[in-house]
């Protein structure tokens, strides 16, 4: 993609995951974003994939068992 | 400059949550996860001279965790590393998208079956779907989607090219959505009409 490209649905969907992951160049990100503003179908898809990613990232907030934390602390003390 | 013991401890404790989370998803077992974290921390301390940039501690530590997991598995299974890393083969059944299964473009704006699907998914459904992924996909999906690592950091963590991260991520996410779809069907979450239509 280049900055001047008008991105169609096929191209936008191909880059959608990288768009959500913020892994596109600024110009490619802007191109996909422009398409999403005008295409309800692709925008819905983007919202769905983003929400699923958010659900997955929420799994990261799990607590560490105190036994694991104590074991690591004691381990490092002995280094 | 080699990292001090105090700085090492501070950095390890700061990322212990994600570290333990990834270990738990790799081993699928609480006791093994704790062992993996402990062994990784020990190896990291021994290899502290290889940490070139203190700002890269997180990716460096994840890399050691992953390598420790692979080497421990290799020992346990007496299999070579290559078999554990299963290169991107042709075991996939083709790209799968929950959205494509559920989306109905002509529904009124307030009817949103794909959103309802997500709302009804439980945390344990996501846990189960992640656990069901093949190992080489699970680790990439966990690092990208659960822990939020950038593709470049994942590539460094796994010692693979960024292109490999992209392709494993695409296949891993597709497999995850397929499993979530099946989990949802088992729990009766899927809209029956969509399930009937697509099987």
For B33-58, the pLDDT digits (tens) are 999 999 999 999 999 999 988 888 99
Q: Which residues on A lie below 8 Å from B98 (Cβ)?
A: 48, 52
The answer to whether B145 contacts A57, with C-beta atoms less than 8 Å apart, is yes
Which pLDDT belongs to residue B83?
44
Mind telling me how many Å the CA of A77 is from chain B's nearest CA? 9
Partner residue opposite B16 with nearest CB, options A52, A64, A79? A64
Whichever domain contains B163, its CATH number is 1.10.10.10
Q: How many helices (H) and strands (E) does chain A have?
A: 5, 0
Q: How confident is the model at residue A60 (pLDDT cuts 50, 70, 90)?
A: confident
Shared-domain flag, residues B123 and B187 = yes
Which pLDDT belongs to residue B73?
82
Q: How confident is the model at residue B91 (pLDDT cuts 50, 70, 90)?
A: low
Mean pLDDT of chain B: 84
Q: How confident is the model at residue B116 (pLDDT cuts 50, 70, 90)?
A: confident
Q: Any idea what DSSP says for residue B133?
A: S
Mind telling me how many Å the CA of B143 is from chain A's nearest CA? 10
Shared-domain flag, residues B63 and B141 = no
Which burial class, exposed, middle or buried, applies to B115 when counting CB atoms under 10 A from its CB (0-12, 13-18, 19+)?
middle
Q: How confident is the model at residue B1 (pLDDT cuts 50, 70, 90)?
A: confident
Question: Using CA of residue B177, residue A59, residue B136, residue B157, what is the dihedral sign?
Answer: positive
Shared-domain flag, residues B103 and B76 = no
- Which range of residues forms the domain containing residue B41? 5-84
Domain count of the fold of chain B: 2
For B51-85, the pLDDT digits (tens) are 988 888 998 999 999 999 988 887 777 655 444 44
Instruction: Determine the average pLDDT of the residues in B118-126.
Output: 88
Which pLDDT belongs to residue B197?
47
Shared-domain flag, residues B17 and B48 = yes
Residue B78 lies in a domain: yes
Residues 6+ apart with CB under 8 A from B43: B64, B68
Shared-domain flag, residues B186 and B113 = yes
Which pLDDT belongs to residue A4?
47
Residue B91 lies in a domain: no
Residues 76-115 of B with CB under 8 A from A: 98-99, 103, 105, 114-115
Q: Is the pTM of this model over 0.90?
A: no
Which pLDDT belongs to residue A1?
59
Mind telling me how many Å the CA of A3 is from chain B's nearest CA? 22
């Amino acid at each position: 993609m280049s900055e001047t490209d008008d991105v169609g649905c096929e191209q936008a969907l191909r880059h959608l995951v990288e768009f959500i992951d913020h892994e596109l160049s600024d110009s490619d990100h802007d191109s996909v974003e422009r398409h999403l503003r005008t295409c309800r179908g692709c925008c819905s898809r983007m919202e769905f994939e983003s929400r699923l990613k958010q659900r997955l990232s929420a799994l990261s907030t799990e607590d560490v068992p105190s036994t694991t934390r104590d074991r690591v602390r004691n381990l490092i003390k002995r280094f | 400059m080699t990292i001090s013991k105090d700085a090492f401890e501070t950095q390890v404790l700061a990322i212990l949550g994600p570290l333990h989370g990834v270990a738990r998803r790799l081993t699928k077992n609480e006791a093994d996860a704790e062992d993996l974290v402990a062994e990784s921390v020990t190896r990291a301390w021994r290899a502290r001279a290889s940490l070139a940039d203190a700002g890269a501690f997180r990716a460096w530590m994840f890399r050691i965790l992953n390598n420790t997991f692979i080497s421990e598995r290799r020992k346990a299974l007496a299999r070579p590393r290559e078999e554990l890393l299963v290169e991107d083969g042709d075991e996939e059944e083709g790209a799968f998208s929950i959205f494509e299964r559920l989306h109905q473009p002509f529904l009124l704006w307030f009817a949103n079956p794909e959103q309802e699907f997500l709302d009804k998914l439980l945390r344990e459904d996501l846990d189960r779907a992640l656990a069901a992924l093949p190992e080489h996909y699970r680790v990439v999906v966990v690092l990208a989607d659960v822990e939020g690592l950038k593709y470049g950091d994942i590539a460094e963590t796994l010692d693979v090219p960024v292109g490999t991260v992209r392709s494993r991520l695409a296949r891993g996410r597709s497999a995850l959505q397929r499993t979530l779809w099946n989990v949802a069907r088992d729990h009766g979450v899927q809209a029956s009409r969509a399930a009937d239509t697509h099987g």
